[in-house]
Amino acid sequence: MTQVDVRQRILSDNAAAATTLRERFAASRTLVLNLVSSPGSGKTTLLEATVRALAGRLRLGAIEGDIATERDADRLRALGIPAHQILTGGSCHLDARQVRGALEAHDLGPLDVLFIENVGNLVCPTSYDLGEDFKVALLSVTEGEDKPFKYPSIFAKAEVTVVTKADLLPYVSFRLDDVRAQVAALRPAGTLLVTSATTGRGIGEWCALLEQRLAAKRAAGA
């Protein structure tokens, strides 16, 4: 078995597990997002702001992927939502079998929206379907405006790109128009939101998008 064969078998096993997950999420009428970004782009911070904004309106839960530490799940549990941490044992992405195993071992209860926060990485998570409704790519303004074209796969696969840390725009070189043009080229029908968890900019728009997508999924499955 060659290296290519091994990779194909891994991706095919992953696709089978992702199909099972997608059926499970359809049955439970849960909207599922797979969040991907560089380390430190603010995935957990966006989720904290989301939980604060939607508390009491929607039942939210999270699966957190990291190489090491339970820190991210702890941050979300501190806000009162169920969160399970997967430690990937050195792997640079989550896979569908890990997510399925986590849900079987740790029931998060009935959820309207499940956030799957992937390992901080713009490359590896791209190829692994986790049964999600859509992928969300995050890009903080401190990372530089060249990132979509440098990491084109994830920005092409993500239905939604969330620009984070917009409160730091005055202090960094980051041409938002340039980023918009790159994302539009890679994902013409995609959505781009500009947010700051610090000032609250764009958080309402982001939460409205979640509610619209949840309603659309439920209408389609009714």
Q: Which region, judged by CB under 8 A, interacts with a copy of itself, from 23-31, 102-110, 129-137, 140-148?
A: 140-148
Nearest-approach distance from CB 150 to a copy of itself, in angstroms = 5
Nearest-approach distance from CB 44 to a copy of itself, in angstroms = 9
User: Chain-centre distance of CA 55, in angstroms?
Assistant: 19
**Residue 152 found at the interface with a copy of itself (CB under 8 A):** yes
**Residue 169 found at the interface with a copy of itself (CB under 8 A):** no
Q: Which region, judged by CB under 8 A, interacts with a copy of itself, from 47-55, 104-112, 148-156, 211-219?
A: 148-156
Contact of 190 with 160, CB cutoff 8 Å: yes
Neighbours of 35 (CB within 10 A): 25
Phi, psi of 115 (to 5 degrees): -95, 125
Strand partners, 32: 114
Q: Which region, judged by CB under 8 A, interacts with a copy of itself, from 20-28, 114-122, 188-196, 205-213?
A: 114-122
Measured between alpha carbons, how far is 68 from 200 in angstroms, rounded to an integer? 29
Handedness of CA 191, 197, 198, 200 (dihedral sign): positive
Q: Which region, judged by CB under 8 A, interacts with a copy of itself, from 23-31, 51-59, 105-113, 151-159?
A: 151-159
Contact of 161 with 137, CB cutoff 8 Å: yes
Pairing of the two strands 134-140 and 31-36? parallel
**Residue 157 found at the interface with a copy of itself (CB under 8 A):** no
Nearest to 54 by CA among 134, 113, 104: 113
**Residue 149 found at the interface with a copy of itself (CB under 8 A):** yes
Phi, psi of 29 (to 5 degrees): 55, 40
**Residue 200 found at the interface with a copy of itself (CB under 8 A):** no
**Residues numbered 51-90 forming contacts with a copy of itself, rule: CB under 8 A:** 66-69, 71, 90
Q: Which residues contact a copy of itself by CB under 8 A?
A: 1-3, 6, 10, 38-40, 66-69, 71, 90, 92, 119-124, 140, 142-144, 146-147, 149-153, 165, 167-168, 171-172
